Every structure is written in structure tokens, then in C-alpha cells.
Amino acid sequence: MLWYSTKRLECLVTFLKCSFSSNVTKSKKNEERNTLQCPKEQKIKEKEEEEEEEEKGEEEHQQQQQQQKKKKKKKKKKKKRKERKKENKTRRRINSNTCCL
């Protein structure tokens, strides 16, 4: 508990230094505030990052599934086309044989 309170005080001191220092530009202040965070804030940020990674993973998984579905659909179409072509060939051959009689 003591460690946590000292860390919290350190965070507070660094925050105050960052916010009241006149020689540091605003962008540097923001960067320093972001880098000098308390442990609780860091944990929260890590959780958010993990959630974002999980969401990205889910999106990638969904995209892969969609691609697989498209491939299967394409394969089915190709197979049907091939079958129709074969049927047409046999039909033509039969028709040509009957005409010649």
C-alpha cells in the first residue's frame, strides 16, 4: 500500500511539473503526461489495447471466413459450368449423329 501511495505521489508531482513548466511546449507537455501515468491508468490503457487487438483478430477471422466462402462459391460455379459444358457437348454430338441419318 505504501508503494502504491508513493507512486501516486510521484505521478502527481510529475503531472504538476508538466502542467506548470513554462519552458515546455504544449505538445511536449501532452507527451510527458501520457508517458508519466499512474499504474492504474497504465493498466486501463493496457486493457484497452488488448481489447483493440482482440477486435482486430475477430475482424481478420471474419474476413478469412468470407474469403473461404467466396472461394467455395467460385469453385461450385466452376464445377457447374464444367458440367453444363459437358452436357452441351454430349447433346451436340447426339444431335449431329441424328441429323446425319
Taking only the tens place, the pLDDT of each residue in 22-48 is 555 566 666 666 666 667 777 888 889
* Residue 36: DSSP 8-state: S
Task: Assess if residue 33 is contained within a domain.
Answer: yes
The answer to whether residue 2 sits within a structural domain is: yes
Q: Is there a domain that residue 55 lies in? A: no
Whole-model pTM? Answer: 0.43
Q: Assess if residue 19 is contained within a domain.
A: yes
CA 38/CA 43 separation, integer angstroms: 9
At 4-28, the pLDDT tens digits run 677 777 877 887 776 665 555 566 6
* Domain range enclosing 27: 1-37
Total domains in the chain come to 1
Would residue 24 count as lying in a domain? yes
- Residue 30 included in any domain: yes
**Sign of the torsion formed by the C-alpha atoms of 14, 15, 18 and 21:** negative
Q: Give domain status of residue 62, yes or no.
A: no
Phi, psi of 23 (to 5 degrees): -85, -5
In a domain, 15, yes or no: yes
